[in-house]
Amino acid sequence: MAATSVLRRPNWWRTRSWLAVLWLPVGLLFQAISSLRRLAFHKHWLASRKLGVPVIVVGNIAVGGSGKTPVVIWLCAALRRRGWHPGILSRGYGGTARIPTAVTPESSPTTVGDEPVLLARRTGCPLWIGSDRAAVGAALLAAHPEVNILVTDDGLQHYRLQRDAEIVVLDEAILGNLWPMPAGPLREPPARLANASLLIDNGPLSPALLARLPPLRHAAMQLEPGRFYRLANQAETCTAAAFGAQTTHAIAGIGHPERFFETLRTLGITLASSRGLPDHHALTTADLSVPAGEVLLLTEKDAVKCPSPAPDNVWVLPVEARIDDAALDDLLEPLHGS
């Protein structure tokens, strides 16, 4: 079975151009259908399922990566510090698996998706994927009875699984023109955020956007780069200064590639070339090819998709989400009695 195709965001999603206007009637129809679907679950006209433990959804209202994966990693670590035993549910986007499937650090991204493999490696939490989050959650809990809370990666619109709290990650660059698909990137309108428990801001939000958002608690997120590690030997690490005298290239198949390239420049690295790829792009040997003696830099999400064996001149930059744990106080307090 072929892997799921990746989505390349149209450039005209950034502005309300004539092409976006042309698609707006279709977008308004999509928004109406989406709202009716959500209402149907709310009114119990469509069946939803509640699992035996609290469920926290981490998602966004737009197509494209907004920084959910670092937030899930941070959230699982924060939950553990408070005595919880989290498990993670994911769709497995980009992989071929559809039925509930366990993910390990050694799983194939082709089968289970790139983000689940990265989450399994970074969190150490039980992690299952599949198209039906409710069935996936039931399977995970049956296999791991020690799990007493579930974190759903990118399940905001998956209403078949009932949730106890919602964390929505906001990246203004991803929100684009704030119009519904296909006229823009929105899967749900900004008004949908009124039902969220916490908004996490990946980068500063403009006054114009803040004026359109409901009055909810915000937490700022900063992505802090760690030490680079050599993909062929992850025990070997270095700082950005090690690349100062070398010709350096970068590629990124994430939701906002330019943010990665800007991070590298902020670290003092001069890039001879930088190439953005579609989100979830499956890397090939050709993608990793740079002239002998030169260096290629990747994100961690891209690193899990690299063909093996990895070239010796490929280095990876891990990032860590810095968010104040106190942002979870109001969200978690009701869950202790769930």
What does the pLDDT look like over 253-267, one tens digit per residue? 887 888 899 999 999
pLDDT band at 64 (very low <50, low <70, confident <90, very high): confident
Q: What is the pLDDT of residue 254?
A: 85
d(CA 253, CA 303) in angstroms, rounded, equals 10
What does the pLDDT look like over 7-19, one tens digit per residue? 567 888 999 999 9
Q: What is the pLDDT of residue 2?
A: 33
Residue showing tokens 């799921």: 4
Instruction: Work out the percent of the chain whose per-residue pLDDT is above 90.
Output: 78
Helix (H, G, I), strand (E, B) or coil at 129: strand
Average pLDDT (237-247) is 94
Q: What is the pLDDT of residue 281?
A: 83
- What Cα–Cα distance (Å) separates residue 290 from each residue in 31, 272, 285, 287, 301? 44, 11, 10, 9, 20
Q: What is the pLDDT of residue 6?
A: 42
pLDDT band at 95 (very low <50, low <70, confident <90, very high): confident
Residue 52's identity, in one-letter code, is: G
> What's the whole-model pTM score?
0.91
Residues 6+ apart with CB under 8 A from 73: 119, 122, 123, 320, 321
Average pLDDT (263-277) is 94
**pLDDT greater than 70 at residue 5:** no
Token pair, residue 33, equals: 């259908």
Q: What is the pLDDT of residue 8?
A: 63
What does the pLDDT look like over 301-332, one tens digit per residue? 999 989 888 889 999 999 999 999 999 998 99
Average pLDDT (11-36) is 94
**pLDDT greater than 70 at residue 3:** no
- What Cα–Cα distance (Å) separates residue 193 from each residue in 93, 118, 146? 23, 27, 32
